[in-house]
Amino acid sequence: MGRARAHFFVALALALPTQVACSSPKGADSDGGPNTCPVGFLGDGGAPDFTVTVLEADDSVVPIAQGDTVPMIFPPQGGRVIFVGVDATNVDGCGLQLTGALRDLKTQEVRVDSRTINLISIGGGHGVSGKTGESVAAAIANFANVAVCPNEWSSTNLYGTLYGLEVTVKDKEGRQLTKKLDVTPECGEPSRVAECECICQTGYVLGQVCDGGTE
């Protein structure tokens, strides 16, 4: 994967459309339930920082940088999703608001998911959205589930095209950071490539018959 320096913007709000997932109810520390988070503050008290991560189909969690590819995975609700997480420091790891967005660089249309999560402490003042080896079913609640397909919104095929990925973290004390990367989505499951390329192509119509059936 490429490792060019990512452009990042501190305390900037994303220009979000109406398609934003609901976060946890007030008073809950995470999507999993109220007041169950043991993590607390992570880091040495400096400026907040994070590395963007993505969940792969083999349950691995990998960091991404400017110019990398990101996998589109078949989720429980169907379609294709990019599971976007963070490896963060100098934030409160409990009740952290995580927002991920994929932007069509031509039209500026975006697909967004925002949720309140609890990070998992990995030592050294860092907390992560999920650990390698944790099942997808167990991990996805701690990742922004950015639903990108069926592709009824983008001007190009989702796969093989450069898009803007925007990730924001904001903790309960108002510490906030946004990072923006240019990434290329790809169909992340070899056994489902034909389905993925069908529903993620530009001009896809909901209900259209794909190779192997409809989704």
Q: Which domains does the chain have, with CATH numbers?
A: 41-185 (2.60.40)
- Token pair in block for residue 92: 């409160």
Which of these, 86, 95, 79, 112, lies nearest to 32 by C-alpha position? Answer: 95
Q: What is the pLDDT of residue 35?
A: 57
Q: Is the peptide bond before 150 cis (omega within 30 degrees of 0)?
A: yes
State pTM to two decimals: 0.81
* 10 contacts: CB under 8 Å, gap ≥ 6: 47, 48, 176, 177, 178
| Average pLDDT of the segment spanning 126-150 | 88
Q: What is the pLDDT of residue 211?
A: 64
What CA–CA distance (Å, rounded) separates 22 from 113? Answer: 8
Task: Give the side-chain half-sphere CA count within 13 A for 197.
Answer: 8
CA dihedral 205, 207, 210, 215 (to 10 degrees): 120
Q: What is the pLDDT of residue 209?
A: 81
User: To the nearest whole percent, how much of the chain has pLDDT over 90?
Assistant: 69
What CA–CA distance (Å, rounded) separates 47 from 51? Answer: 14
